[in-house]
Amino acid sequence: MKLNMCVVPSAMVDLVWDKCTPHLERAIDRSPNDISLESIKNKIISGTTWLFIISEGSEVIGVNVCEIHTYETGYKVLYIPITAGSRLDEWMEDSLKIANRIALDFGCKELRGMVRPGWIKVLKSHGWSPVHTILKCPVKEEEQIDMNVIELNIGEKS
């Protein structure tokens, strides 16, 4: 069966949302505390973010979430914070071509996404390369410091 790919109009998100949720939840589970289903849905319905689905018949097998980011310099990118689903090898290449076309239509100069290390390997063959690497470290509540020995020179010249 042929795969279908389309951007879901914001007014129709509720019609496909339940079929997209399992894919989105898997991505959210791997990025805890960064995003939520509710925030994604609200952004899609508001029109600031787009839901792009890959389906086979009535089954949604993949999703992309994308939005335009314009940086302070005016530089525009199509940001893709979530790509998730099954059978990626069947739709990834076409999905990236469509994302590229959307980016061109909106005057973007790049496609970008914050990815886990495994995605770097997958996307490298499609021309992607790392821009930043983000690391994390939890705040240590038990760590004590003597504030009397710390000088803060915020906003002052050294």
* Residue 19 burial (CB count, 10 A): 15
Domain ranges of the chain: 3-149
User: Is residue 157 scored above 80 in pLDDT?
Assistant: no
* Residue 7 burial (CB count, 10 A): 13
Q: Per residue in 95-154, pLDDT tens?
A: 999 999 999 999 999 999 877 777 777 788 888 787 766 656 666 676 666 656 656 555
Q: Per residue in 57-80, pLDDT tens?
A: 999 999 999 999 999 999 999 999
Residue tagged 């530089």 (tokens): 75
Instruction: Give the domain 3-149 fold.
Output: Aminopeptidase (3.40.630)
